[in-house]
Structure 1
Amino acid sequence: MSDKDPKKRDSTTDFFLNFVKKEREENAKQEAKKEAVEERKVKTVSDVLVGFNYINKALDKLLSNKMSIRIISALLTVILFITFSGGDVLTSATSGVTIKNVAVSVEGLKQGYEVSGIPSSVTVGLIGPSVDIYTTQLTKNYQVYADLSEYNTGSHNVTLKYRNFNNNLTVMIMPETANVRISPKITKNLPLTAKFKNEAKLGDKYSVSVNSLSKKTVAVTASRSTLSSIDQVCAVIDVEGKSKAFTQTCEVKAFDSDGDEVNCEISPKKVIANCSVNTYSKVVAVKPNFIGKVKSGYKISNYKLSPSTVTIYGKRSDIADISALSCDVNIDGLSGSTTLTGLELKGNDKITKMSASTIRIDMTIEKK
């Protein structure tokens, strides 16, 4: 049969057309699959975004609630503790720990009495299941206290007690006992003075003076021994940043000779102070006041003060007549050149501030 046979040409054409048709159908299927895949991707991304949005909203609500934050923090703390302890907290049957600086409270003290000798804090030892120990440390609901309801005036050996520890734990208080003294309180009227705080934060060119206090005396209630330890009772005035006259409600506190606060009852607890802020100052000389005598056959041939002058502050009328400040210099028995430091300048109540409170003196001491 010839290649130009019409039947053969028709058969070839049909074959070609069928091939093209199948290719188109296959391409259409592939396109449909791609579209389906893209749709699934878009839907997946959309679902993920919706999920993230839901999580964000839930977290916002959760983190806006203080109680929820505390619960989450506690859970995270437990998880971290278990993780870093290698699981010992769950597997260890018994363990021990000490808790330091546990405050001691006083209960049952009769009104009108004072107690001394109670430690401010103790160390507590715990032995028992690790979980119970950890829970105790986490919650901190425990208490250590001295029950004085059965004790009267005098000295006593008191056993400290505890509460709110897990019953599975063995609790040891160190020290377990305290030697205390219970004394009746008495009341005494004491003069009230002023004491400044934050003077370092007062501008260098300013000085504060107290014009008046709303009370001249206050009633101090404490045991006789506590009262005898009080050196002064002061209205504590905060002078930080003051640059002009001011009125301030101040706390009243008692102090011993070392400047430490004494625990006692004071009435009234607060007073009103009227204060002036002064900018007047003047420069005055420093003069040594030699005490004693140098060794026989010697003399002070020269001396140098550092600083030799100081600036004093106060009301103009109060310090106008002050031309010099003195300091005591003990030269008794000296026989050679000497340097003394930290010599205190003698001021007075009229001076509210000085540029220096101590000086140094270099002395040349020679044979006569």
Structure 2
Amino acid sequence: MKTMFKIIKNFLKSIWAFIDKKIIIPTTRLVLVGTKKFDKSGKKIENWLSKTNTLLFISLIFAVTLFIVIDQKIITFSESSAEVLKNQEVKVIYNEEAYVVEGIPSNVDITLIGRRGELMFAKQSSNHDVSIDLTGLKPGTHKVNVTYKQAMQSIDYKVNPSIATVVIYPKISETKTLTLDLLNQDSLSSKLVIDDIIVNTDKVVVKGAEYKLKEVATVKALIDIRNLVKQEEGVTTLKDIPLKAYNNQGEIIDVEIVPDKISADIKITSPSKELPIKVIPVGTIGFGKAISSIDINETKVTVYGSEDVLSTLNYIPLEIDVNELKENRQYKMEIPKLVGVKSMSVNNATINVSVGNSVDKEIGNVQIEYRNLNEIYTVQGLSKKDVSVVVGLKGVKSVLDQIESSDVIAYLDLKGYGEGEHEVDVKVEGTDVKVQYIPKTKKVRIKIIKIN
């Protein structure tokens, strides 16, 4: 007991020494410094402060003030309050292999109620587990409690929402064929094409509630071209390609897909083809005039695209307007990019057209060809004049002198024609675009016969 009193006595002495050193002495010095500014009255104040009772009263006032300040802090710290933890993730405990659960809130708010000091420690705690336990529940609709694992037992809490209505479905599975969907193809270099894609699997298993699986129309692997590390010819492996299930309206269906990601080997090529530029005059040249020469600064173009597209291309058509043209002219033209062509080595061309005086020439006995006829038919001319025609030519003499009968073609376009007799327009064309070709016979009569 004496030891306890001794400890308390020493503790009080230490407090008094602290107050005397940190409060009384500095305050006294401050007052004394202030009194020096006064004349005779300063000695009276000094004598007053020298009295023991005065110093005791000053110490008592400071001690009481300090006690009130500290006491107010303690009261504030011990008052009850509330704090809200927003958007806390909810964990669900159930057999994920056997069931699908719907109606689980993605997050909840937790209101903590208690003393402010305890709330401060509770908020700093990393243990804020919110869960729903569905263990033992069968398929159907259930109302279940949302529980919170308290960080401190002395704190009350409220969860919002505190009850969830969930629906439990049996989980079933189906096998689906995977389709590939290329995203952001425009980001691929214009000289490159995706030639082939080989995935590590073309079948996936879709799992979920039965009504959800009935909505799944397709499962797609979303191959984003922007994820290619480098764009160059060769084979590139792309990993972690996400899979998504869609309905007939193209909306995403929330089901489990196994695997949920795949990898693919993407073959990139750069097919190209060199094509000649064919200048095609359009319109009727001025009266008595004809084109004597056409010169172009670019005669060939290398085009890039898929092999399927390139195989159908034979030349690049470049039309120039010569309507009412009567003198030499220069054209600066943009070379058109054909459908399916991604890039061209040349995009512009300069064309110089020279004109001269026009003369006429005729080429006779040009045999008529038949185009676009259904293969189940054959054609006969109803008379000798219905199987060949005379073709008139207009152009400058130097050009016409080089035209032979083999350079002129007369034909009938029989697209849509069926069995029977028909009168059909004669069309003509030639190999030299500087010449105007005119059929002297405008129409012929033919008979279309079905092949047995």
TM-score, normalised via structure 1 length: 0.49
Please state which structure has a larger fraction of its residues in helix.
1
Q: Which has the higher contact order (CA 8 A, sep 6+)?
A: 1
TM-score, normalised via structure 2 length: 0.41
Q: Compare CA radii of gyration and give the structure with the larger one.
A: 2
